[in-house]
Each structure stands twice: as structure tokens, then as C-alpha cells.
Amino acid sequence: MVNKGFTHLHLHSQYSLLDGAITFPRLLKRCTELGMDCVAVTDHGNLFGLIEFYTKALAAEIKPIIGIEAYVAPGSRHDKSKCSISDAAYHLILLAENQTGYQNLLKLATIGFTEGFYYRPRIDKEILAELNEGIIATSACIKGELATAFARGDEPAAYAAAEQYVKIFGPERFFIEIQKHQGDDPAVSQGLIDLSRKMGLGLVVTNDAHFLTEDDHEAHNCLCAISTGKLANDPGRLIYPSDVYLKSPLEMRGLFPQYEEAADNTLTIARRCNVEIDLKTRHAPVFRPPDGITAEDYLTRLCYEGAERLYGGISDEIKARLDRELEVIESKGFASYFLIVWDFCKYARDRGIALGARGSGVGTLVGYCLGLCNVDPIRYNLLFERFMDPQRNEMPDIDIDICQTHRPEVIDYVRRKYGHVAQIITFGTMKARAVIRDICRVMGVPLSDADRLAKLVPAALNMTLDEALETEPQLRQEYEQNPLTAKVIDIGRRLEGLARHASVHAAGVVVADEPLTNFIPLYKAPGSEDLVTQYEGPMVEKVGLLKMDFLGLKTLSVLDQACRLVKDRHGVAIDLDALDLHDKKVFDLFAAGRTKGIFQFESGGMQGMLMKMRPDRLEDLIAANALYRPGPMTLIPDYIDRKHGGKWSVPHPIMEEILRETYGIMVYQEQVMQICNRLGDIGLRDAYKLIKAISKKKADTIAKEREKFIAGCVDKGLKKQQAQDIFELIERFAGYGFNKSHSTRYSFVAYQTAYMKAHWPVEYMAALLTFEMGDTDKLVEYINECTEMGIKVLAPDINESGVHFTPLNRRHGDQEQSVIR
């Protein structure tokens, strides 16, 4: 048979959660191998993977066809009368023919979750009649309305349904879909073919692909068993035929050779589907200043007012940096973004809600002057370029920690003021250890054996089964000697990394200047009324929407509660942003390792390090926070030795100046950036790219920047060998470097918690216990800490206990003692 080409128009990716087993990179590679230059993805009731599919397909030079296998309610989408899951909806393939069709798919995919959800995200014919323009429909699989009618022998119902769809889409945009799989009833296919002939409708052949190759069938069987909670050999389980894979054009044309037009029509439909998604325009809301001036002028005014207030005057250094940052921000069109963040931060602060920037956003002087954070980036040598690339147009990302208790209130303010707001979806994936446990369960492997095998996989971040086999000899031996283990791992390698479930991102919120469904589909988790995007955060940003991170930080709630208790009990108002940062009592607490309940510093290992380090300045806490993590932990003994008098030296005075704070050790990414910039004439942002290249072992980028660095050093009078030695030091330590902006901010919060524990121990511990009430282990740990501190924690008492743990005064002889009840 001559290969005349074919396009798959019915295919399920991993975003048909626990039902599809196709990832986009493998799909596109396979399409190329099979000589297919177009492909559609039609996931069940959602568009979760749309932007990822679209961008990766274009990069692979394959035309993406945007579609969905919709669930169509038998009556109204609003009718949620009790019925079984199999009766709740029919299937229908919808493909975007043009931009209008794409916009309508976004709305239909949203309505399925927001209005029609009943077992499945359902639409109905009423809404299809309203939002069908630019959409091509096919009658779907055996669960389509027409095929279902033929399967039960109800030919009149099949014809009636076809007439309804023709009325909605017209005969040019409604096709009759036929399939041929193992176990299919030929009478159903023949009924569909006869209907297409009698009604003059186009015929199209598809394969309902759920996995990529026939070899994936066993793994897909396990995936379905995981989804339904069955054993993989249960006779009553959901199982797909072994031939619902991505067949070649020749295989597909061989299914119905007498109806060649059914395969030809897939190419016709592919030619008709032409959608270009705008990934260049930004749709962030515009901040409108109160007095009619431009956002840029208003931002400048606020920053200069803030600088005057914070510094008591504006030096040349402050002015130069502020102007440079403002120039970059305003030239990129980001003034409104900074003002929106300032606006909701001001709203929170005016109401006494604790919050502050975290991450690289702490390194902006503009942010400091706007009150987004309490860390002075000039005082702590933090870099704007670590936060924002002046040479690129990417939307900046200021992450904000908010008092956990009041986070919903701040999000509600943003929703009320800017109108179009949703939280952001995230997908849990099948990780190496978890996938082994899942497969063992559905294969009936005893729990103890499953647990033993899973624990042979190293617990490292982003560990894969392939890596585990290479790095763990015992696992490799088990794999080579035990056929069952080999089978579990081989199946696991096919399923590893697939999306397992959808959930809501802990912090992400998207804000737009018009209805979100103009740009993205929305989702509602079952049982929730919160609107959530169907795209993950990076994909939300790709379509030009503004993503903000509102992270509820429990520690800020603890501090807020502790300060309120102090005010109520003693009449003392504590300003945590105005603490003495040289308080001996606070540093004595750190040096003694008494850091249970202290933010970021309470682990046993951290306590041991603090007792050896004996920190006596905030810079030590910042360094400790950055060093105490895998990799840089090896540098801790050197830091401690040098802090207490050990000798150290570096090859150049500029390096000595930059590294003096950390005793010659490259602890922070910002230090590496400054060395590259001041010694090697590498731009600060290029220096950050070099750091990332070193951590990811990108040899080409490293080699290119090495040449630039050495040339820059030689221009400054260094010998070539000396420059090479310095670059070797950078290569050795840059991969360990931590974001100083983030470490500084969190060390400030740690200092605040230590201050409260040192000076107001009863109030602080009461607040801490209150916010750990749901964690029995933590509660026991902190009650024991109270005992160590000489604070009694009394049992609940109906006459004295409140909703929270409460400090009380008790007389003990002639003395009054504070206790917690």
C-alpha cells in the first residue's frame, strides 16, 4: 500500500490523568519517525497540556492541532440527577479550526468544570450551539453518542443525535468517526459508515491513541489499575485493547482500506485547522495612579519618597542605583507590575498583616523603597541583576510571603480591585519511589517487598529510576537477578514522570486585565468554588498573564500572634522591622543552639553547627542559612575555622574585598557574579547565566565564558595563569552558591523569631504551640522545649482555656509565674 499520509485526530496525552500515557517529547519524536507532520491532542474534558503541546510541537516542526475530547451531558449540563458515571456524559471530539474556534474551546473547557461538572467536566448541546463557531467536531469513540446508540441497537437514536450535531455544526464541520480495535463490534462501525453515507457526512478514521507504541500496553494496563484501585490481573478491571497506540499512516490506512476517504479526511481536517496562539503580548492589568500621572512617574515618586524615609537622605550611590533600576523597570513596561505589588502590600500593612518579599526580589532597591521587604539591598550587597535581566523582556517575579492567617484576605483584595484573578494549577507526578510502590501494589507484590524495593531508590531530589540503577549497586543487583523486580522497574520507567493528579499551587495567583477565559481555560477542583487555571505557572506566563506568588508563611502568623499577646498582656507594641540587630541575648541563643522553634534554624544538625560557629552578627546567620544544605555543607568547617582566626587568602585584592564577609569562601551567587564582573568584565546577568551553566554542567557555555573571563582579567593586568586559577575556583564553588537575597530575608525572619523567644518566651511559645495544634509530633516537641525553658504547659481547663494556647499568670508562693494553658 502506498503511504499517502495520515494525521491522528484522537489522542490522549498524560493530561488525561491516569488514562493517557503519552508525553509530548516522545509523541513528537515518534511522529517524526513515522513521517507525520501534524498531530492532534484531545485530552478528556481538559486543555491542561495545550500550551506545552503547542510550543513543543512548533519547536519540533510539527503542526499542532488543538482539541479536546469533550464530555457532553445527555440533557442539560445543569442536570445532575443521580445516575452512574457511564450514563453521565457522551464523548465528542472538538478541534479548533481557527482563532475563533480556539477561543471557544477555552470557554467550553472552562464551562465543563465551572457549570457542568458531574463525575466529569461536562458541556451540553445548548452551550455547543452558542460556542461552536470555528470548531470541527467528530463523533468520537465507542462512548460517543452515535456509537453508543448503535451498540444498544437503537438506530433511530443515532440518526436523531447526528441530526442535532449537524444542526449545531453544519455538515462541513461534523464528521463521523470510525475505529477498529480488538474486540470492537463491527456492526457499530458499519452503522456509522451507513449513517455517514445516508446523511452525506464526512467519514474520518482514528485510533483513540492512549499510549505510544504497542510495547507500552502492559505499562498502560498498570496505569489504569493504579487509577481504578484494581489489580493489574483483575478480570473486572478497566483495560484497553493493545492496539490503541500511535499507529503509522500505513497501519491506519489498512484499517478501512475500502473507505480511503476516511484517512484522506484526516489530512483535510489537519489542513483546515490553523491556530496561532499569541505568546508575545502581555495581558497584565494596568495600575492607574490616583492623580492621573503615568505609572512610571508615580513609581518614581513613591521610590524617592521611600528612599528619603528609609535613608534620611538620598546619597549619590542611592540615587544612581535607584535611577538604574527604575530605568530598566520602566523601559520594559513593568512599572504597573511593581505598583500592583506595592498596592496589595500597602493594603496588608495598613491592616497590620505581616508580609514581605522573598527570593531574588529582595535584591531590588525599588522593592525596598516601596516597602515590599525590610532588607536593605545596599547594606547587604544584594544585586538587582540577580532578580531581573535588563537584556530580556521576561516578566519579573516578586514572591511575597504573607501571614498564613490573612492570605485569603489579601487575595480577595486583589480579586476585588483587579477583577480577573485565579489560583494556579499544579500537577503531582509519578516519582521514582512512588511509581515502584504503585506498580507493586497493582501487581500484588507484598507490601514489605514493595517498601524494601522502593527504599533502594536514593532519596535525592529529581532522582529517576535510570539514575538509581546507575548509582545504587544493590538496586542494580536486584534488577539483574530478580525477574519480578526487573518487570516492576521496566514498567516504572515507562510510567515515571507522568502526571498523576491535579492540585492547587500553594502560592501562585494569576491576574489579568480582562476575563481570563480570553486567554486560558479555567478549572474547579471537585468540591471547591475556587477558580484555578488549567495551565501550570510557566505556561500561564507564556500566554502573557501576570503570575504572582502569595505564599502563606506560618512563621509570620506565629510572630503576629506573639506580638499581639505581648501587647495584650504587657501593653508593649513590638515593631519587628525596627529591632536592634546586635542584640547579645539573641545571638547567645543562637550560639547555644537553643533554636527549637526558630525559623530555618531548628534542626539538630543546624543546632550543632551554630554551637561550633557561635554567630555574633547577622551576616553569620545569612551564611549559615546558605551553607546548611547539600553540597555547600562541605564548606562549613572552613567557615567556622576562619571565623575563629584560621588563616585564609585569595588570589586577588578584588576577590578579598568581595569575599571578606565570608572569610574567602564563595557562599553566595552574588559574590561569584561580582567576581566575574569586576575581575573578568562579564556582565552581572551573564555572570548569573554562567553560575547556572556550571551547576548544570553546560560545557559549551562554561568554555565561552571562561575565554571572556580570562581576557577581562588579562586586561586588568593579571597573568593568564592567575586568571585561569581564579576561574577554576569559580567553577569549583559556583555550583554551591546560594541566592543571598533569599538567605538574607529568611535570616531576618529567623532573627525576629529568636528575638521573641529570647525576650518574650512565654508569648512566643504559646503562639508557636497554637499554630502547631494540628501536628501532634511538633506539639510534643515544643511542649518539651517549654519544659527545658522552665515554662509550664498546663492541661486544658474548661474555665480558663481559650481557642488558642494562652499565657497565664500563676502565683507560686510569693512569686508570680507565667504558664501556658
Q: Are residues 152 and 253 in the same domain?
A: yes
Please tell me the predicted confidence (pLDDT) of residue 373: 93
- Backbone dihedral angles phi then psi of residue 14, each to the nearest 5 degrees: -60, -15
Q: Are residues 344 and 449 in the same domain?
A: no
Across-strand partners of 459?
A: none
Please tell me the predicted confidence (pLDDT) of residue 82: 67
Please tell me the predicted confidence (pLDDT) of residue 762: 96
Question: What's the whole-number mean pLDDT along residues 427-441?
Answer: 94
Across-strand partners of 63?
A: 38
- Domain assignment present for 287: no
**Pairing mode, if any, of strands 815-820 and 420-429?**
unpaired
Please tell me the predicted confidence (pLDDT) of residue 285: 87
Supply 403's cell numbers.
501571614
Q: State the residue for C-alpha cell 468544570.
A: 113
Q: Are residues 508 and 466 in the same domain?
A: no
Write out pLDDT tens, residues 164-219: 999 999 999 999 999 999 989 999 999 999 999 999 999 999 999 999 999 999 99
Please tell me the predicted confidence (pLDDT) of residue 698: 84
Q: Report d(CA 476, CA 676) in Å as an integer.
A: 42
Domain end, chosen from 737, 752, 771, is at 737
Q: Are residues 183 and 264 in the same domain?
A: yes
Q: Report d(CA 651, CA 639) in Å as an integer.
A: 18
Do residues 125 and 71 lie in contact, with contact meaning Cβ atoms separated by under 8 Å? no
Write out pLDDT tens, residues 43-53: 999 999 999 99
Q: Are residues 69 and 172 in the same domain?
A: yes
- Domain assignment present for 230: no
Query: What's the mean per-residue pLDDT of the chain?
Result: 93
pLDDT at residue 393 is higher than 80? no
Is residue 2 very low, low, confident or very high in pLDDT (cuts 50, 70, 90)? low
Please tell me the predicted confidence (pLDDT) of residue 813: 67
Burial class (CB in 10 A: 0-12, 13-18, 19+), 346: middle
Write out pLDDT tens, residues 362-375: 999 999 999 999 99
- Backbone dihedral angles phi then psi of residue 171, each to the nearest 5 degrees: -65, -20
Q: Which of 632, 638, 617 is nearest to 669 (CA)?
A: 632
Q: Which of 402, 413, 411, 410 is nearest to 560 (CA)?
A: 402
Write out pLDDT tens, residues 225-244: 999 999 999 998 889 999 99
Q: What residues make up the domain containing 686?
A: 630-737
Domain with residue 486: its CATH number is: 1.10.10.1600
Domain with residue 195: its CATH number is: 3.20.20.140
- Domain assignment present for 587: no
- Domain assignment present for 746: no
- Domain assignment present for 751: no
- Domain assignment present for 440: yes
Domain end, chosen from 463, 480, 498, is at 498
Q: What is the DSSP letter of 474?
A: H
Q: Are residues 340 and 311 in the same domain?
A: yes
Q: Are residues 389 and 524 in the same domain?
A: yes
Count: domains in the chain: 5
Domain end, chosen from 459, 474, 498, is at 498
Task: Give start and end residues of each alpha helix (H) in 273-313.
Answer: 295-311
- Domain assignment present for 439: yes
Please tell me the predicted confidence (pLDDT) of residue 513: 80
Q: How many CA atoms lie within 13 A of 386 on its CB side?
A: 26
Q: Are residues 527 and 450 in the same domain?
A: no
Q: How far is CA 447 from the centre of its chain?
A: 31
Q: Are residues 197 and 93 in the same domain?
A: yes
Q: Which of 526, 379, 505, 407 is nearest to 45 (CA)?
A: 526
Contacts of residue 260, defined as CB under 8 A and 6 or more positions apart, other chains included, come to 253
Do residues 432 and 459 lie in contact, with contact meaning Cβ atoms separated by under 8 Å? no
Write out pLDDT tens, residues 10-36: 999 999 999 999 999 999 999 999 999
Question: What's the whole-number mean pLDDT along residues 75-83?
Answer: 84
- Backbone dihedral angles phi then psi of residue 92, each to the nearest 5 degrees: -155, 125
Q: 172-181 in b/e burial notation, b at 16+ Cβ within 10 A?
A: ebbbbbbbee
Q: Report d(CA 111, CA 96) in Å as an integer.
A: 17
pLDDT at residue 311 is higher than 80? yes
Please tell me the predicted confidence (pLDDT) of residue 716: 84
Q: Are residues 30 and 144 in the same domain?
A: yes
Q: Which of 351, 274, 322 is nearest to 65 (CA)?
A: 274
Angle, CA 45 vertex, CA 43 and CA 46 arms, to 5°:
70
Q: Report d(CA 69, CA 53) in Å as an integer.
A: 16
- Backbone dihedral angles phi then psi of residue 53, each to the nearest 5 degrees: -60, -50
Write out pLDDT tens, residues 589-633: 999 999 999 999 999 999 999 999 999 999 999 999 999 988 889
Please tell me the predicted confidence (pLDDT) of residue 3: 66
Query: pTM of this prediction?
Result: 0.86
Is residue 85 very low, low, confident or very high in pLDDT (cuts 50, 70, 90)? confident
Contacts of residue 133, defined as CB under 8 A and 6 or more positions apart, other chains included, come to 100, 101, 104
- Domain assignment present for 530: yes
Please tell me the predicted confidence (pLDDT) of residue 528: 84
Supply 615's cell numbers.
554567630
Q: Are residues 164 and 252 in the same domain?
A: yes
Write out pLDDT tens, residues 108-159: 999 999 999 999 999 999 999 999 999 999 999 999 999 999 999 999 999 9
Burial class (CB in 10 A: 0-12, 13-18, 19+), 100: middle
Write out pLDDT tens, residues 512-566: 888 999 999 999 988 888 899 999 999 999 999 988 888 999 999 999 999 999 9
Q: Are residues 720 and 770 in the same domain?
A: no
